Amino acid sequence: MLLFALYLLIATVILIIVAFFYVSSIAATPPKGRADDLSKKLSLKSGRVIACIGDSLTHGNIGECWVESLRNKYPEDTVLNEGINGDVVWQVNNRIQSIINCSPDIIILMIGSNDAMASFNKKSGERYKSSNKLPEIPTFESYQKLLPKLLDKLDGTSKIALCTLPPIGENKDSAINEHVRKFNDFIELTAKNKNINLIPVSNLLWNELSKRTYPVKSDYDPSSIPIIRRIYGGMMHHYIFKKSWDEVAKSKGQWLLFDHIHLGERAAKILFNATKKYISSV
């Protein structure tokens, strides 16, 4: 009996390890239809080039992909998914030229969530600097310098929409969302100063969160182990047990963000509708 229990334990551990590496491989896979792909092997469609630039919230393999919904909505257009998991604004600045080389007609930019998390406390900043191989720890002050610099590089594109950032966790009065609000205030000010269109993602998602039908169970924890557990646990439930992202979210007491960070189907639909409205207006 003890031997059977031991074998069962070993088998369970092996399955968990295999599942972890499986979802890790998914997270590490770049999005399809990037500017690099276009220059190497893809041809332009007859319509416009629409570049969606950002981090994992745009990438869409950790959570629902609103960019793929845009591709389905605008099949004659070339929709580039330039969201890279974990990116901060410094990294987008460094890879923007390949996107510019595609001469996008429309750009949708949503970047800063990782900058906000990295600058929230010292340990988070050190973790981001190490894992992303950054020259320095991201700060709000560096974001204030690098976001306008990025937009200046995109100056040749007349149709640019800048998105405010989604919540981190679903507690409006939390310290992390107070921190995110600083970034969003700056994004709004930058859009106004540069006469760039603004997509109010933050307000749209907070409006939806006011409709939630069950209470918040937990709040965002910036420590590395809880973050890894939430992200990879959610991905296992989705990719292995085939639960929807919103089902995963509900099991954790979340309404929009299944792991306090990434978008479920309900949240992604809001982003899709907001970006579709902008694209259809220009």
Give φ, ψ of 119 to 5 degrees: -95, 5
pLDDT surpassing 60 at residue 230: yes
> Does residue 12 fall inside a structural domain?
no
pLDDT of residue 37: 79
Whose structure tokens read 């965002």? Answer: 220
Q: What is the mean pLDDT of residues 170-184?
A: 97
Residue 33 DSSP code: S
Radius of gyration of the chain (CA): 19
- Least confident stretch, 5-9, 97-101, 118-122, 194-198: 5-9
pLDDT surpassing 80 at residue 122: yes
Q: What is the mean pLDDT of residues 237-253?
A: 96
Count of Cβ atoms closer than 10 Å to residue 155 Cβ: 10
> Does residue 145 fall inside a structural domain?
yes
pLDDT of residue 43: 60
Q: What is the mean pLDDT of residues 102-126?
A: 96
pLDDT tens digits, residue range 37-64? Answer: 776 555 666 789 999 999 999 999 999 9
Sign of CA dihedral 140, 113, 131, 92: negative
Q: How many domains does the chain have?
A: 1
Whose structure tokens read 């933050």? Answer: 202
Residue-number span of the structural domain to which 199 is assigned: 25-209+263-281
pLDDT of residue 45: 66
Q: Are 108 and 53 in contact (CB under 8 A)?
A: yes
Strand 106-110 with 159-163, pairing: parallel
CA distance 93 to 149: 8
Residues with Cβ < 8 Å from 90, sequence gap 6 or more?
A: 134, 135, 138, 142, 146
> Does residue 232 fall inside a structural domain?
no
> Does residue 43 fall inside a structural domain?
yes
pLDDT of residue 170: 97
> Does residue 199 fall inside a structural domain?
yes
- Least confident stretch, 26-30, 37-41, 59-63, 140-144: 37-41
For position 80, which CATH number holds?
A: 3.40.50.1110
> Does residue 251 fall inside a structural domain?
no
- Least confident stretch, 42-46, 184-188, 267-271: 42-46
CA distance 207 to 272: 16
Residue 116 DSSP code: H
Q: What is the mean pLDDT of residues 170-195?
A: 97
Q: Is the backbone of residue 31 left (phi > 0), alpha (psi -120 to 50) or beta?
A: beta
pLDDT tens digits, residue range 146-162? Answer: 999 999 999 887 799 99
> Does residue 215 fall inside a structural domain?
no
Size of the chain in residues: 282
Average per-residue pLDDT in the chain? 93
Q: What is the mean pLDDT of residues 68-93?
A: 97
pLDDT of residue 232: 94
Report the run of H or E that residue 245 belongs to, with start and end: helix 245-251
pLDDT surpassing 70 at residue 7: no
> Does residue 249 fall inside a structural domain?
no
